Amino acid sequence: MKLTTYGVDIAKRVFQIHWVVPETGEIQRKKLKRADVMAFFRLQAPGRVVMEACGAAQHWARQWQPLGHTVQLIHPKFVRPFVMANKNDAADAQAIWTAAQQPGMRFVLIKSEAAQAVLALHRIRSQLVKFRTMQMNQLRGLLGEFGIELPGGREAGLAALRDIDWERVPALLHAALQMQMQRLRELDEQMALIERQLAQWLRSDDTCRRVAEIPGVGLLTATAMIAAMGDAHHYRSGRAFAASLGLVPRHSGTGGHVQLGGISKRGDRYLRTLLMHGARSVILHQGKDKASPWLRDLLARRPFNVAVAALANKMARTIWALVAHQRRYESGYGIVA
């Protein structure tokens, strides 16, 4: 029996469902309140439920899978071309259903609750970093108005704040500035707590520990990559994983002529940034003398930032290979003299 495909447009209060009865070809549409959605899918025979990969989609995917349904998520940019009329819930649900029928359609991986919790910690930490940067920059600006220049860099700036000459600052500002400095300390403490939680998760996960052995892959990169990747076999190869992070060249072509540009920058910017920072630290730490022959040759031929992107791509492929094939990192593995 052919499975019924349901296109579901989810929202905060109302869900719109579009499907076609396989036996008759009859088009069905249904609008449900949030509280009635689970009851509806419990009554349906196991089918294929497709949604846009938007807010709360991961949660609903995990709710419907135990009911026997095959749940798939589509990136919204692949759904948009199939909205044939004015945008509304019914048109969106129909567009999702239509997009799901396309051969070769790519789907977003459904994450476990544990993986989403790890990624949530990363998001919270990223926000705290932004708050800390804003707080520090504001202090620089405010103190600069009274002739107090803080040195560049966060650590140097914090050290200068601790030794500030309060006589040069109006008394009216003392309490407020000390509150700002206290917030900086609190932000550091909150980030340290999150990093301890991530370190605990890393120690408990064998795959994460193996990935952390790769040069340039530390606590943040290892935990974020493993949580985001999920099942490595969702990607055809290491190159496909690197491409999902936007670390492969952007190309366009016509008439048989293909032009390659910079990296595509698709996918999760945060994950790509972690790999780029890791690659940059490896190059700066090793230098040309200690770098591998491949990296030395690349640095000799191409600009520094191109080499950073290439090494980040290689790190992504290595991460995929270790996870997909259950291997440990081996320096120089696969090098042919």
pLDDT at position 337:
35
| Domains of the chain: total | 3
- For residue 82, the SS3 value is helix
Do 246 and 198 lie in a common domain? no
Domain range for 174: 113-204
Do 236 and 197 lie in a common domain? no
Q: Is residue 331 part of a domain?
A: no
Q: Is residue 107 part of a domain?
A: no
Q: Is residue 76 part of a domain?
A: yes
**How confident is the model over 260-316, as pLDDT tens digits?**
778 888 889 999 999 999 999 999 988 777 778 888 889 989 999 999 999 999 999
Are 228 and 115 within 8 A, CB to CB? yes
pLDDT at position 331:
79
Crossing angle, helix 171-204 and helix 154-162, to 10 degrees?
140
Q: Residue range 14-40: average pLDDT?
A: 95
Q: Is residue 125 part of a domain?
A: yes
Give how far the C-alpha of residue 253 lies from the chain's centroid of Cα atoms, to the nearest Å: 29
Do 268 and 281 lie in a common domain? yes
pLDDT at position 320:
96
Mark which of 204, 226, 258 sits at the end of a domain: 204
Nearest Cα to Cα of residue 33 among 14, 7, 6: 14
Q: Residue range 49-64: average pLDDT?
A: 96
Report the distance separating Cα 295 and Cα 312, nearest Å: 12
- CA distances 212 to 196, 199, 206, 207, 209, Å, are 15, 11, 10, 9, 5
pTM of this structure: 0.89
Report the distance separating Cα 291 and Cα 287, nearest Å: 6
| In the predicted structure, residue 133 carries a pLDDT above the cut 70 | yes
Do 75 and 125 lie in a common domain? no
Q: What is the CATH number of the domain that holds 64?
A: 3.30.420.40
Q: Is residue 106 part of a domain?
A: no
Q: Is residue 43 part of a domain?
A: yes
Q: Is residue 335 part of a domain?
A: no
**How confident is the model over 180-206, as pLDDT tens digits?**
999 999 999 999 999 999 999 999 999
Report the distance separating Cα 321 and Cα 330, nearest Å: 11
Do 44 and 122 lie in a common domain? no
Banded model confidence at residue 153, pLDDT cuts 50, 70, 90: confident
- CA distances 271 to 78, 194, 221, 268, 293, Å, are 22, 17, 7, 6, 27
Do 191 and 278 lie in a common domain? no
Do 213 and 313 lie in a common domain? yes
Do 45 and 72 lie in a common domain? yes
- CA distances 78 to 17, 92, 248, Å, are 18, 12, 20
**How confident is the model over 233-246, as pLDDT tens digits?**
999 999 999 999 99
Q: Is residue 297 part of a domain?
A: yes
Residue 195 tokens read as 């990093």
